Amino acid sequence: MKTSPCNANSALGAGRRERPLLTRSTGRRKLGEQAIMTVLIACSLVAGLVTIGIVASLLFETLRFFQKVPVTEFLFGLEWSPQTALRTDQAGSSGAFGAIPLITGTLLISAIAMIVATPLGLASAIYLAEYASRRTRAIVKPALELLAGVPTVVYGFFAALVVAPFIRMTGSGVGLEVASESALAAGLVMGIMIVPLISSLSDDVVNAVPQSLRDASLGLGATHAETVRRVIIPAAIPGIAGSLLLAISRAIGETMIVVMAAGLAANLTANPLQAVTTITAQIVALLTGDQEFDSAKTLSAFALGLLLFICTLALNVLALRIVKHYREQYD
């Protein structure tokens, strides 16, 4: 250890141990820190593992399913009545595994939900962003978030036991034939559940439109409403579109509301007053009975699950892409 030049003049005296300026870190600490880093990296990889796990498990079971039921029947078949082979040596199954009625059912209910949620969500967002006082905003915005916080089983309960009978009663009062588990009931309630998704994101997006654009429009003598309709909303369209896509994705993946209020009738129809079933409802039905795990019936649930996963993933990726691109426009 070299003597440092200032030691001779050090006021601290001879009791002070000398420390060189630059030392290598001690071996023990480095080992410990390496261990910590390994743990950290491992934890970060868990999320990736989960995704891989989802894809792998769904894919694996789906492939086993397609060994029993042809892909074309699944994707293009118009009849869904899943039956299991009665004997294990039966080549296929005696039932039909055409997913089209499920897809149309899902789309019908989601469409109803979006028809309900989009105007409500957008109008609320515009009002909150452009017209509401700070106090109103502080109360209403969290209140709308409450809608998102209510568990879907509660919505399903309300839909099945209050809304559906009400619609049925009103319908038959007017002379229409309404199923006891109409797509309308499920779609309506689902729409309300989605409103905060649209309103919250759209509100953020509308607020992000620069004030300079508003000033320019108002300076030209436009009313506030004209500014909103002709300048702000067009500027915010990409973000709003993103929020709508996320909402659709949520609607498609929703389970409890449709299980409780929409039932299991695999009808191929566009009539909202009839009962339809969705992909998610069928997955639940197929897997909550006593089933042998290898049967075509059980495996079809995984095929449906994979279909669902791919669709929602595609929608989410698209939505996030649009929102990101839009944000770059203004940065």
User: By CB under 8 A, what part of segment 220-259 binds other proteins?
Assistant: 220-226, 228-231, 234-235, 246, 249-250, 252-256, 259
The smaller minimum CB distance to other proteins, of residues 76 and 131, is found at 131
63 binds other proteins (CB under 8 A): no
Q: Give 108 or 235: the residue with its C-beta nearer to other proteins.
A: 235
Least gap, CB of 144 to other proteins (angstroms): 6
The CA-atom distances, in angstroms, between 190 and each of 62, 187, 207, 211 are 29, 5, 26, 35
Query: Which residues are within 8 A (CB) of 139 and not within 5 positions of it... i.e. 6 or more apart?
Result: none
The first and second tokens of residue 81, run together, are 């009545």
> In the stretch 177-206, what mask flags binding to other proteins with x, by CB under 8 A?
---------------x--x---x-------
Which stretch in 14-22, 139-147, 172-180, 269-277 sits in contact with other proteins by CB under 8 A? 139-147
Contacting residues for 55 by C-beta, under 8 A, at least 6 apart: 309
Q: Does 66 bind other proteins (CB under 8 A)?
A: no
Q: Binding of other proteins at residue 110 (CB under 8 A)?
A: no
The DSSP secondary structure of 196-215, one letter per residue, reads HHHHHHHHHHHHHS-HHHHH
Spatial distance between the Cα atoms of 294 and 74, rounded to a whole number of angstroms: 17
- Contact call for residue 27 and other proteins (CB under 8 A): no
Nearer to other proteins, 98 or 253 (CB): 253
For other proteins, which is the closer residue by CB, 128 or 183?
Answer: 128
**150 makes contact with other proteins (CB under 8 A):** yes
Q: How far is the CB of 222 from other proteins (least distance, A)?
A: 5
Query: Looking at this protein, which amino acid is placed at residue 237?
Result: I
Dihedral (CA of 272, 112, 146, 284) sign: positive
288 binds other proteins (CB under 8 A): yes
Compute the least distance from the CB of residue 44 to other proteins, in Å: 4
Phi and psi of 98, rounded to 5°? -85, 125
The torsion angles phi and psi of 46, rounded to 5 degrees, stand at -55, -45
**Structure tokens, 98:** 């055409």
Exactly one of 84, 93, 104, 124 binds other proteins (CB under 8 A); that residue is: 124
